[in-house]
Amino acid sequence: MSADEKTKKSRVRMKEQTPEGRIRNFNEVPFGYTPEQAVEEAGRCIQCKRPQCVDGCPVEVDIPGFISLIKENKFIESAHKIKEKNSLPAVCGRVCPQEEQCEVLCVQGKKGEPVAIGTLERFVADYEAEQGELELPKLPPKLGRKVAVVGSGPAGLTVASDLILLGYDVTVYEALHKSGGVLVYGIPEFRLPKVIVQREVDYISKLGVEVVCGAVIGKMLTVEELLNEKGYSAVFIASGAGLPLFFGIPGENLNGVYSANEYLTRSNLMKAYLFPQYDTPIKKGKRVAVFGGGNVAMDSARTALRLGSEEVHLIYRRSRKEMPARHAEIEHAEEEGIKFNFLTNPVKFIGDDKGNLKALECLRMELGEPDDSGRRRPVPIKGSEFTIDVDLAVVAIGAGPNPLLLSTIPDLELNRRGYIVADEETGKTSKRRVFAGGDIVTGSATVILAMGAGRKAARAIHQYLEWTNW
């Protein structure tokens, strides 16, 4: 095998902060490609005639198209090529699970490593932004019809940008004081810098989307009022994952036990890591336990380290194989020194006389028969109880639907789990003129799936408003 062929088998790696260095700051871990690296990596794409990778992309980005422009050093043109289909490339390049979507289908992956599609996407999006003012696409004449979007996370932003490009007037209502949804309150700075989210939101605002923050739909305005009094022709609900789930075990309300939503919101949205320069406080535990095996659990554990915790344990009831988190996140967490405790589940939280968490009682588990999810069900091992000292715990075991908005729309059909029933292809709900997508339909999922739902719903909203057939 020639040296050239060998290099083509493995991808060009991004430089990143060392584990020892990065656990003392909130800066992004990888630095991204240099232009030379990007061109080299793009050279690994063989430009398949029938590219499989595109099939794996929920928003159908022309992957070989944007990569071939990188090969020609046309980075800005490459960014525009992505933006034809994806309004948030700098975000998706960072947080999409490419290893399960586009990259897993790449032919290069059959013999070696797949092309680093996500890293290339990230490169061109950042490159374009660094060149200054983003070029705006030409907008069509206004159609004179308005659409309201509830929630400014990935699904809401995608619908908004797609509809504004079709000529609709779009208003996005965001309950929090800052737009971006989970991109702002959930995903930490070291994985997705907030200036990047702000840049993408600003871009959508420049296209003419009106973003109203601090507007709680269901309270300040109802969906009914949006449709019948405020003159919106359709409403898209993308209010996101709702109430954090807890174990329901004794001691869970002790001081020092957080939901991941609260812990991450304090740190990310409220910038509690900069306390007291920012007013919102956050507990900095010496010994921390984080429960769960998903990306949110990894984010919480790594946040704890950066806030100065001495020892951070990840506690997961199944084994490593069943962890839903991305490989890259698990690797990063391990490199940083997070201690993984598999097949372990908490039984109770133990407090001191002031109501502060001081320890945790756990049980060892073993894997039994497969459950509904196809993963082997963890079963407790009798008599395996043990105690560990912790002064902070973060519960990252998912969320349930938030009743705040849904309870104000009585004629909206919900499924058994309490999420909105919406057509997978169109986002249509049981209520005329109301569409929905993202986590409030699927339960907690990924950024790109929410964007995919937004893309489809935008198409369906356009069709409905043109032809009024429901």
Partner 1 sequence: MFAIIKKEVFSPEVKLIEVDAPAIAAKARPGQFVVLRIAEEGERIPLTIADFDREKGIITMVFQEVGKSTVYLGALKEGDKLANLIGPLGNPTEIEGYKKVLCVGGGIGIAPIFPIARGFKEAGAEVISIIGARTKELLIFEERMNKVSDRLIITTDDGSYERKALVTEPLKEILEEDSSIEKVVAIGPPIMMKFVAKTTQPFGIKTIVSLNSIMVDGTGMCGACRLEEGEETKFCCVDGPEFDGHKVNFDLLISRLNMYLDEEKASLEAYRKVEDK
Binding site for partner 1 (CB under 8 A): 175-177, 185, 213-216, 219-221, 242-244, 246, 248, 252-253, 255, 258-259, 261-262, 265-266, 270-271, 275-281, 283, 354-355, 402-404
Kindly tell me which of 7 and 280 has the beta carbon lying closer to partner 1: 280
323, two tokens: 């962890």
Helix (H) or strand (E) holding 6: helix 3-9
Smallest separation, CB 246 to partner 1 (Å) = 7
Q: Please choose, from the candidates 269, 325, 267, 303, the residue with its C-alpha nearest in 3D space to the C-alpha of residue 444.
A: 325
DSSP notation for 247-315: ---TTTTSBTEEEHHHHHIIIIIS-GGGTTTSS------SEEEEE-SSHHHHHHHHHHHHTT-SEEEEE
Kindly tell me which of 100 and 252 has the beta carbon lying closer to partner 1: 252
**Beta partners for residue 144, in sequence order:** none
**Kind of pairing, strands 392-395 and 257-259?**
parallel
Kindly tell me which of 275 and 340 has the beta carbon lying closer to partner 1: 275
Residue with tokens 């409220």: 270
Kindly tell me which of 131 and 253 has the beta carbon lying closer to partner 1: 253
The 10 Å Cβ neighbour count of residue 415 is 12
Smallest separation, CB 287 to partner 1 (Å) = 18
Smallest separation, CB 175 to partner 1 (Å) = 5
Question: Could you tell me the end-to-end alpha-carbon distance of the chain, in angstroms, rounded to an integer?
Answer: 60
Smallest separation, CB 309 to partner 1 (Å) = 16
Residue type, 345: N
Smallest separation, CB 358 to partner 1 (Å) = 14
**Beta partners for residue 434, in sequence order:** 235
Smallest separation, CB 264 to partner 1 (Å) = 9
Kindly tell me which of 54 and 404 has the beta carbon lying closer to partner 1: 404
Kindly tell me which of 43 and 400 has the beta carbon lying closer to partner 1: 400
Nearest 5°: CA angle at 394, between 391 and 396? 160
In angstroms, the CA 358 to CA 89 distance is 43
Kindly give, in sequence order, each residue whose CB lies less than 8 Å from that of residue 133, ignoring residues fewer than 6 positions away: none
15, two tokens: 């430089």
In angstroms, the CA 239 to CA 441 distance is 9
Kindly tell me which of 355 and 368 has the beta carbon lying closer to partner 1: 355
In angstroms, the CA 398 to CA 75 distance is 39
Smallest separation, CB 361 to partner 1 (Å) = 19
Kindly tell me which of 251 and 427 has the beta carbon lying closer to partner 1: 251
DSSP reduced 3-state for 436: strand
Smallest separation, CB 139 to partner 1 (Å) = 28
Smallest separation, CB 244 to partner 1 (Å) = 5
Rounded to 10 degrees, the C-alpha dihedral 89/95/97/102 comes to: 10
Kindly tell me which of 341 and 444 has the beta carbon lying closer to partner 1: 444
